[in-house]
Amino acid sequence: MSDTQRSVQERDPAGQRRRLPGERRRALIVEAAAERFAAQGFGLSTRELARGMGVTQALLYRYFPSKEALVEAVFEAVFVDRWRPEWSERLGEHKEPLENRLTRFYESFLASRTAVSMRLFMRGALDGQAFPERYTRALDERILRPVVDALRQDAGLPELAREPLLNGERELAMVLHGGIVFLAIRKHIYGTPLPDDCAEHVLLQVRTFLGGAPQVLQSLHSPESPQILRMPVLRAPDAITRP
């Protein structure tokens, strides 16, 4: 049992269970459920979840009317609430060189990825949960589009407010983002020995990306570029803007 699961059933020195404030109890249940789903998948029943936490099933239903509501709370806590406002500001600071912006953003972003969050994302995709798709839509709005907009600005191309994002541009930005995320996968899924501070790894990824991205971007706007890459990315009307 993890420290989080023990906290759900906190006891006083006499061994009696403490009455925790409602919001604290709810947050601890969400955190413990995230750990359980990450370790065992989303097929767990509420009965199994409650047993693993050492609480009653009735307690879970006191805070969440259904398992789906609990899964949604886990998504919010792990993938939505952890987005930091300064990340958006950092990516949008056009006066700073793009290499510095990308490096500082991805250092912080990578440090925020945990074993639980990475395993949850992988489990969610494999178990048919909707939040990987929702996260991907948010990823477009908060990360990929700002990266492409910055590349366009440096290349003297029209900003995204004037001309839509191209499929090829989205894929180009995903080259960098995917490389950074794979560092987290290697560390938290594969167990590859990587340092706690991966600043040098991030800088290597960013410099490699920027070494070729401007030329590729220009080629995507050329009439000779394959049409599938020059097609605009369709933006979902219900796109979530908080990854």
**Could you list the pLDDT tens digit for every one of the 243 residues in the chain?**
555 554 565 543 444 455 567 889 999 999 999 999 999 999 999 999 999 998 999 999 999 999 999 999 999 999 888 888 889 888 888 889 999 999 999 999 999 999 999 999 999 989 988 776 777 888 899 999 999 999 999 999 999 999 999 999 999 999 999 999 999 999 999 999 999 999 999 999 999 999 999 999 999 999 999 999 999 998 654 444 444
Q: Is 238 domain-assigned?
A: no
105 and 66 assigned to the same domain: no
Q: Closest Cα to residue 240, out of 109, 141, 165?
A: 141
Whole-angstrom distance, CA of residue 178 vs CA of residue 111: 15
Number of domains in the chain: 2
100 and 59 assigned to the same domain: no
Bridge partners (DSSP) of residue 166 are 232
Over residues 96-131, the pLDDT tens digits come to 999 999 999 999 999 999 999 999 999 998 998 877
Q: Is 157 domain-assigned?
A: yes
64 and 87 assigned to the same domain: no
Q: Is 180 domain-assigned?
A: yes
What is the CATH number for 28? 1.10.357.10
Whole-angstrom distance, CA of residue 202 vs CA of residue 204: 5
46 and 160 assigned to the same domain: no
35 and 93 assigned to the same domain: no
Among 77, 96, 131, which residue terminates a domain? 77
Per the listing, tokens 């097609």 go with 231
Residues 16-43 as b/e (b if ≥16 CB within 10 A, e otherwise) read: eeeeeeeeebebbbbbbbbbbbbeebbe
Among 58, 77, 96, which residue terminates a domain? 77
Among 24, 51, 77, which residue terminates a domain? 77
The residue range of the domain holding 35 is 3-77
94 and 62 assigned to the same domain: no
Whole-angstrom distance, CA of residue 215 vs CA of residue 217: 5
21 and 39 assigned to the same domain: yes
Distances (CA, A) of 62 to 20, 29, 58, 67: 14, 11, 6, 12
Whether this model's pTM surpasses 0.75: yes
226 and 198 assigned to the same domain: yes
176 and 221 assigned to the same domain: yes
